[in-house]
Amino acid sequence: MPRREPWEALPEGVRRAVERHTGPVRSAIAPEHGRLSEFSARLETEHGPVFCKGVRTYRPYASGHRNEAALAGFLPAAVAPLMLWTIERDGWLLLGFEVAEGQSASLAPGSPDLAAVRDLVVTMAQELTPCPTAARDLTERWANAPSWSVLYVNPPGDLDPWAYENVDTLAALERRLSLAGNTLAHVDLNPGNVLVNGTHALAVDWAWASRGPVWLDPAYLVTRLIAHGHPPKEAEAWARTIPAFAAASDDDLTQFAARLSGMWEFVTRTPKAGPMARQLADVALNWARYRIEGAG
């Protein structure tokens, strides 16, 4: 993950360009979340607060910021904060947004935030279908992502015992997965990317947003719910209150769970993988096993 720079470390020309939009910046407060920006802060200005984030243009993370900038104009106020401006200067790309007030969503069992998160995902499916033409296609993004099909060739000896015994089944399932669809999916609805303010929630950080099936975001949320203490059966029961997920076929969901678990398992074996990668791989495998052995 990139190191986050303070406001004062940005080139003077970049800071002046920001202040032409905002007026003088009085303070810059870094958020708790947001891993893919080299600069990320709530800027307090004489005209009110603005959220600003960005990266150096040569960094690989810049592609996500460009994707978010390309799609921001298609995101209604009911699902995301308004993007106000973009700046590209002196080797930096910065995006400015209205500030979304609220706290990171709690996905724990019994959390009052779950209702707001559900309403947000329902609204996203309604408002972001059909998908804007500017969106990347998730099928293309995932086309070369290693997964169980690669691990199947020579399964690692430290693989989860159930996964080791069923790696052929997992590989066969993921090969049948279709991600065709006409919805703009966020693709990364972790708690840090969902801000809840009372009974209303907004999604932020749309860097990975892509064209895909309408059930994709609620399916991702199943894994996040499991990670925060929900058994797979209960996580799916919550997701089935979302019409897009309820209408998905068992085959689609089982194949998706298999594919996601394989990709995250592969990520855990890369040099820069952190402890979160291991947790996500285990959670996705837990869901895939539940679906293969019973629910699906």
Pure H helices in the chain: 12-22, 62-71, 113-127, 138-142, 148-151, 161-165, 167-175, 216-227, 232-239, 243-246, 250-267, 275-290
- pLDDT of 33 strictly over 80: no
Query: Distance between alpha carbon 107 and the CA centroid of its chain, in Å?
Result: 15
The alpha-carbon radius of gyration of the chain (Å, integer) is: 20
What mean pLDDT is reported for the chain? 95
Residue 275 has what pLDDT?
83
What is the phi/psi pair of residue 59, to 5°? Answer: -75, 150
The first and second tokens of residue 92, run together, are: 């930096």
* Weakest mean pLDDT among 18-22, 33-37, 40-44: 33-37
Quick check: 191 and 224 in contact, CB under 8 A?
yes
Quick check: 106 and 191 in contact, CB under 8 A?
yes
pLDDT grade for 205, boundaries at 50, 70 and 90: very high
**Local structure of residue 21 (DSSP, 8 states):** H
- Cα(277)–Cα(165) distance, integer angstroms: 22
Q: Which of 125, 128, 96, 111 is nearest to 25 (CA)?
A: 96
Q: Is the dihedral of CA 33, 39, 44, 46 positive or negative?
A: negative
Residue 295 has what pLDDT?
57
pLDDT grade for 34, boundaries at 50, 70 and 90: low
Overall average pLDDT of the 149-172 stretch = 95
- pLDDT of 1 strictly over 70: no
What type of residue is 164?
Y
Strand order from edge to edge, sheet including 103-104: 103-104, 194-197, 200-203
- pLDDT of 172 strictly over 70: yes
What type of residue is 183?
T
* DSSP reduced 3-state for 293: helix
pLDDT grade for 36, boundaries at 50, 70 and 90: confident
The first and second tokens of residue 153, run together, are: 């060739």
- Cα(24)–Cα(87) distance, integer angstroms: 16
Overall average pLDDT of the 231-250 stretch = 98
* DSSP reduced 3-state for 102: coil
Residue 32 has what pLDDT?
77
- pLDDT of 166 strictly over 50: yes
pLDDT cut 90: percent of the chain above it: 92
- pLDDT of 265 strictly over 50: yes
Residue 136 has what pLDDT?
95
- Cα(71)–Cα(79) distance, integer angstroms: 13
- pLDDT of 87 strictly over 70: yes
111: exposed, middle or buried (Cβ count in 10 Å: 0-12, 13-18, 19+): middle
pLDDT grade for 296, boundaries at 50, 70 and 90: very low
| pTM listed for this prediction | 0.94
How many alpha carbons lie under 13 Å from residue 72 in its C-beta half-sphere?
20
Residue 54 has what pLDDT?
96
* Weakest mean pLDDT among 18-27, 33-42, 149-158: 33-42
**Local structure of residue 295 (DSSP, 8 states):** I
Q: Write out pLDDT tens, residues 99-124.
A: 999 999 999 999 999 999 999 999 99
Q: Specify the residue for token string 């293969």.
A: 292
- Cα(214)–Cα(128) distance, integer angstroms: 9
